[in-house]
């Protein structure tokens, strides 16, 4: 194998490793964001007992629905990023 082919292989390998690390980093960040969102849902559910009005209860429930949609989106994105690893 020529020196230039060997150097190209090393560059390609380094690029592939860097790309995989980038995907792994994205997965870790999205998992953390998903966990934070789940914590927010839990805290909001606990606050339902202390809500002062029906309007507050509806707002909390609506926000939790949006949070649940975000979690589903995170799951899809995580699965997609993991396919690159």
Q: Which two tokens stand for residue 66?
A: 């949006």
Burial 41-70 (b: 16+ CB within 10 A, else e): beebeeeeeeeeeeeeeeebeeebeebeeb
pLDDT: is 11 or 57 the higher one?
57
> Residue 7 pLDDT more than 70?
no
pTM: 0.80
Q: Average pLDDT, stretch 37-63?
A: 97
pLDDT at 11 over 90: no
């Amino acid at each position: 194998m020529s020196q230039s082919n060997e150097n190209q292989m090393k560059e390609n390998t380094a690029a592939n490793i860097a790309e995989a690390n980038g995907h792994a980093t994205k997965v870790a960040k999205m998992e953390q964001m998903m966990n934070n969102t789940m914590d927010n849902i839990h805290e909001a559910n606990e606050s339902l007992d202390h809500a002062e009005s029906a309007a507050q209860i509806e707002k909390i429930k609506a926000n939790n629905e949006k949070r649940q949609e975000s979690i589903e989106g995170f799951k899809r994105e995580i699965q997609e990023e993991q396919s690159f690893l």
